[in-house]
Amino acid sequence: MSAPLLEIENLTVTFPTSRGPVDVVKGISFSLGRERLGIVGESGSGKSMTGRSILRLIRKPGRVTADRMTFDGIDLLSQSERQMRELRGARISMVMQDPKFSLNPVMTIGEQIGEALLTHKKLPRSELKARVLSMLEAVRINEPERVANLYPHEVSGGMGQRVMIAMMLIPEPDLLIADEPTSALDVSVQAQVLDIIDDLVTGKGMGLILISHDLNLVSRYCDRILVMNSGEIVESCKASDLHKATHPYTRGLLAAMPRMNEDRDELPVLDRSTWTTGAGT
């Protein structure tokens, strides 16, 4: 592997509250090559904030500070808003959780995907259409011609999420951040959507950051895993070594999950007092 695609050192995200500033991400560092990285944690662990801060999507009054945040040699912290707009979508893109709220309800699917490409590149209309259709095909949508003319409310959740992925991948970015891309979907559809992301990412040699609360799912689809708890990375390991995890939090999460062949009478519950002073459940 050559130079890492993304390098982050000492990233902190702070929000002011009535009781003084609160760090939701507390000085985390990691780097990413052209590989699949999973970030796992529970609600409030700061995993989504980490993803958003890479794209500088944290709005005021939130504040992002870092010693170093470079993407492919570009210093993300010193970019102007205009320069960031050029990066977003074209070089780094993000798939959000719920297709219902992230697609424009009054534009057809074809127009939306086309717009994502046109923002970054001028193309003749016929070529644009061909690209959109082939992208829809790549995310395994049957009858792309028909679907391109539908509005978001006319498609199912799984299809909506595939449209989102098509939209995010059509400018051929180098890094895809997928923030809980499947938690709004059914189990059977989840696997399909992740397989598509996986195929496209490995096929194009992109980097992927998969943010999720589902340890099993992340271990199936990623090379490396970071486990976050209350804004800190508590464990970093290879996905295949997840079962050898050492931190009590990771072990607790693994144990708390019911298994397919469940024989325990009671599920072990996390004892939060041992490693964190943060808010409990």
Partner 1 sequence: MKNAAIHLENLSISYGKTPVVFDVNFSVSEGESFALVGESGSGKSTILKAISGLAPDWTGKISVLGKPRGHAPDREFAKVCQMVFQDPYGSLHPRKTVDDCLAEPLAVHGIGGRDTRVKDMLDAVGLDQRFRFRFPHQLSGGQRQRVAIARALMLEPRVMLLDEPTSALDVSVQAEILNLLKKLRREQGLTYLMVTHNLPVVSFLCDRMAVMRHGRVVEIAEVDALKTGRLSDPYSRELYAASGGTLQPA
Total binding residues for partner 1 by CB under 8 A? 33
Binders in 62-121 for partner 1, by CB under 8 A: none
User: What are the helix and strand counts (H, E) for the chain?
Assistant: 10, 11
CB of 271 to partner 1, least distance (A): 10
22 binds partner 1 (CB under 8 A): no
Amino acid letter, 192:
Q
d(CA 151, CA 105): 7
> Which of these ranges, 101-109, 133-141, 163-171, 215-223, lies near partner 1 under the rule CB under 8 A?
215-223
DSSP symbols for 51-65: HHHHTT-PPTT-EEE
Closest to partner 1 by CB, 130 vs 267, is: 267
CB of 267 to partner 1, least distance (A): 4
d(CA 50, CA 13): 8
- Contact (CB, 8 A) for 41 and 47: yes
280 binds partner 1 (CB under 8 A): yes
Closest to partner 1 by CB, 9 vs 98, is: 98
Amino acid letter, 189:
V
**Which candidate, 236, 224, 238, 203, places its Cα nearest to that of 37?**
224
**Identified binder of partner 1 from the candidate list 78, 262, 273, 274, rule CB under 8 A:** 262
Closest to partner 1 by CB, 204 vs 259, is: 259
Closest to partner 1 by CB, 3 vs 256, is: 256
> Which of these ranges, 30-38, 116-124, 201-209, 249-257, lies near partner 1 under the rule CB under 8 A?
249-257
d(CA 14, CA 62): 6
CB of 47 to partner 1, least distance (A): 12
* Residue 126 structure tokens: 């016929």
* Residue 13 structure tokens: 């995200």
Binders in 161-200 for partner 1, by CB under 8 A: 186-191
d(CA 145, CA 110): 9
Residues forming the site for partner 1 (CB under 8 A): 42-43, 157, 186-191, 213-216, 220, 252-253, 256-262, 264-270, 279-281
